[in-house]
A and B are shown apart, each in its own frame.
Chain A
């Protein structure tokens, strides 16, 4: 199951390694990870999508907080949120067969951002399924997909539901406020492990 965390981390060298190393140590695959500056000076915002069930996800969040460089972790879980991904797709297309790609781009609300005699480049933003849908139909066409570059997911909670607002309302932080009544379930279930 895919699980999405939003983490505010210090904007310093080595921070990405620490976060990535934690996932590696817990044997959890990172599906996608995006990092960039946030609205807070000195802090970067990461959206981490990991292949983890609910229980592992809770341990992940607790473990992320144990990293000194991590300031805040929000477990998006099933909460209402907006998720977007950006993809650049280069397709083989000549003057003769490029019009069908233009049509497709139109349908998918994508943009053509580069054009040569042999190829063109499509920029598309949206949820994962939309991007995958476009790649799929492109693959079904005679125009070959030459290159795909995807940003990975970026996620933000909907509405005023940012952790900062919650904190202003007196909660310790966003996600622990949600899980306040669930303890210890909020910490997830142990995974079935066989000790040696």
Chain B
């Protein structure tokens, strides 16, 4: 079959094998790239791939496939697709599925399973993957008839991208892949999407919200990931600008509101800017947009924003009053809700509050590591700041999990949505490299950087070979501090510096890259940083920089888990970087 013929299936009902139906349905859903790894129970599907215009990226571990599909979805806004065989192939997907679930990422995973005749017999490589993934998917399907494949996959796409997005898994038995059925793409269309019946945004509630906003003296917008999911960047910006309301972002909300915008105060929460957290504690109104008051953001519920009324604009009714009791809930699509709310908001003078926040920055800005001499040391914060400066803030940055992730969030200033790709909810180490591959395949024209710790990089470093096989250009910055740094920091602060199992012996990352045919360089001094970054950006293929940074640096400020937002641990004055003692 040629490409044209396979597209003809989309309009004319045709008899196909189940395996062909899988691909034909994906083509019909607009899929151009999938990430996967073959095996016995999915072999019929792989055998049929050559007939269809879909690019398959061969990963090195199925966790990579689910993270790549996730990165692809985050970078493009489309649904990512991962494919694996039964048993170990399917279970290897699990961490990536949970990562996507916790961050509401639209993704469809397709797994093969043993033939329906032997289902439930502990056949070779049989695993109950729909059972395993039940709590970490929006929904999943177990399919054992070829005629059910197209409807299930089409329904899976609808579920994955509708409402609050998330991952969906379709498990297909081998005999269903081998048998034939009439493929009728149009007839396989799911019933129209039914929104959650508890969505709720009446004119009274809109009026109540508008009233609170108009009368607030110290309002703050809390900008979350939902803004990007709902494509409501413009509306949030209009709300902030027209009503002169300062904005704080969550980790996943970074990019939803331009970092360089004068109203953007920066990130909130455990490692958020001190003035943002303090402002939240002093605020008289919080307008939460597409965020869920995660415990990393609120510290502890009892002490959170004690003086503030709260408006929660959120698509998922199960999030309302979950962690924080709110005064007005506008439960619906953020884009849609704000379109209705904005006409009720004529404008407002917010200068007093904005000035108060700006002056509250006080010495915090002076204390900022960027403004201090490096005295020959290479600090991770310098790396982030310089990467931001040299890339003009235009790169898509995929971070891993740990200290480097927080420093990136603090020092790389993202003006564009979907340019920071990071695992927020699950905090999955090993995410960055495969997610970056997915992001690059989704957006080949973009400059893509991986920023990973020496620990997390080693969790999925095998995907370096995928980069080479795919001939894609990704720049990799390993922030090598010789420790599982974030855990070491907790040990330093809360476990009397008992550095149990956090010092890390690593391979020479430059040699490791070299073994894959990827050039690289180690950087020890800030003076060598720019040349290395320039070289990375200049070479045609992938490039790795091993940044050997200060080993025992910590991320400041930090709110200890369970403390109030204003109970921050500040950068200590004995830090060699601080010339002047703390004055507050």
**Which residues on A are within 8 Å of B, measured CB to CB?**
14, 17-18, 21, 25, 55, 58-59, 61-63, 65-68, 72, 172-173, 176, 180, 183-184, 187-190, 192-196
- The answer to whether B134 and A17 have CB atoms under 8 Å apart is yes
Nearest chain A CB to B97 CB, angstrom units = 15
Bound: A17/B317 CA distance, A? 22
On chain B, the residues within 8 Å of A14 by CB distance are 130, 142
Contact of A196 among B299, B312, B326, B561 (CB under 8 A): B561
B301 an interface residue at 8 Å Cβ cutoff? yes
Q: Which residue of B lies closest to A25 (CB)?
A: B135
Q: Which residue of B lies closest to A26 (CB)?
A: B318
Bound: A14/B144 CA distance, A? 15
- The answer to whether B200 and A190 have CB atoms under 8 Å apart is no
- What are 26 of the A-B contact pairs (CB < 8 Å)? A17-B134, A21-B135, A59-B322, A62-B317, A65-B197, A65-B198, A65-B317, A66-B196, A66-B316, A66-B318, A68-B159, A176-B197, A180-B202, A183-B328, A183-B329, A184-B312, A184-B320, A184-B321, A184-B326, A187-B317, A187-B321, A190-B321, A190-B324, A193-B295, A194-B562, A195-B562
Bound: A91/B198 CA distance, A? 48
B535 an interface residue at 8 Å Cβ cutoff? no
Instruction: Identify which of A25, A55, A184, A195 gathers the most chain B CB atoms within 10 Å of its CB.
Output: A184
- The answer to whether B323 and A190 have CB atoms under 8 Å apart is yes
On chain B, the residues within 8 Å of A65 by CB distance are 196-198, 317
On chain B, the residues within 8 Å of A66 by CB distance are 138, 196, 316, 318
B139 an interface residue at 8 Å Cβ cutoff? yes
On chain B, the residues within 8 Å of A63 by CB distance are 318
Bound: A62/B561 CA distance, A? 28
Q: Given known contacts A184-B328, A192-B302, A195-B299, what 9 new A-B pairs fall within 8 Å (CB)?
A: A18-B134, A25-B135, A62-B316, A65-B198, A72-B197, A184-B320, A190-B325, A192-B301, A195-B561
B415 an interface residue at 8 Å Cβ cutoff? no
- The answer to whether A184 and B329 have CB atoms under 8 Å apart is yes
Interface residues of B in 31-81 (CB under 8 A from A): none
- The answer to whether B327 and A184 have CB atoms under 8 Å apart is yes
- The answer to whether A193 and B198 have CB atoms under 8 Å apart is no
Q: Which residue of A lies closest to B323 (CB)?
A: A190
On chain A, the residues within 8 Å of B328 by CB distance are 183-184
Bound: A180/B17 CA distance, A? 50
Contact of A190 among B135, B197, B198, B301 (CB under 8 A): B301
On chain A, the residues within 8 Å of B111 by CB distance are none
Q: Which residue of A lies closest to B158 (CB)?
A: A68
Contact of B134 among A21, A62, A183, A187 (CB under 8 A): A21
Bound: A68/B163 CA distance, A? 12
On chain B, the residues within 8 Å of A59 by CB distance are 318, 321-322
Instruction: Identify which of B134, B196, B312, B322 gathers the most chain A CB atoms within 10 Å of its CB.
Output: B322
On chain A, the residues within 8 Å of B237 by CB distance are none
Q: A68-B159, A195-B295 known; A62 and B301 CB under 8 Å?
A: no
Nearest chain A CB to B190 CB, angstrom units = 10
B300 an interface residue at 8 Å Cβ cutoff? yes
Nearest chain B CB to A31 CB, angstrom units = 21
Nearest chain B CB to A181 CB, angstrom units = 8
Bound: A195/B303 CA distance, A? 13
Bound: A189/B302 CA distance, A? 13
Bound: A55/B329 CA distance, A? 15
- The answer to whether B200 and A176 have CB atoms under 8 Å apart is yes
Bound: A148/B72 CA distance, A? 56
On chain B, the residues within 8 Å of A187 by CB distance are 317, 320-321, 329
On chain A, the residues within 8 Å of B197 by CB distance are 65, 72, 172-173, 176
Interface residues of B in 285-333 (CB under 8 A from A): 295-296, 299-302, 312, 316-318, 320-329, 331
Bound: A183/B296 CA distance, A? 26
- The answer to whether B325 and A62 have CB atoms under 8 Å apart is no
Instruction: Identify which of A62, A66, A176, A183 gathers the most chain B CB atoms within 10 Å of its CB.
Output: A183
On chain B, the residues within 8 Å of A189 by CB distance are 321, 325
- The answer to whether A194 and B326 have CB atoms under 8 Å apart is no
B205 an interface residue at 8 Å Cβ cutoff? yes
On chain A, the residues within 8 Å of B331 by CB distance are 183
- The answer to whether A195 and B300 have CB atoms under 8 Å apart is yes
Q: Report the 4 A-B pairs with minimum CB-CB distance, sorted nearest first.
A: A195-B295, A184-B329, A187-B320, A62-B318
On chain A, the residues within 8 Å of B324 by CB distance are 190
Nearest chain A CB to B94 CB, angstrom units = 16
On chain A, the residues within 8 Å of B198 by CB distance are 61-62, 65, 176
Instruction: Identify which of A14, A62, A68 gathers the most chain B CB atoms within 10 Å of its CB.
Output: A62
- The answer to whether A55 and B321 have CB atoms under 8 Å apart is yes
Q: Which residue of A lies closest to B135 (CB)?
A: A25
Q: Which residue of B lies closest to A172 (CB)?
A: B197
Q: Which residue of B lies closest to A185 (CB)?
A: B321
Bound: A172/B198 CA distance, A? 9
Q: Which residue of A lies closest to B208 (CB)?
A: A183
On chain B, the residues within 8 Å of A176 by CB distance are 197-198, 200
Nearest chain A CB to B517 CB, angstrom units = 43
Q: Which residue of A lies closest to B318 (CB)?
A: A62
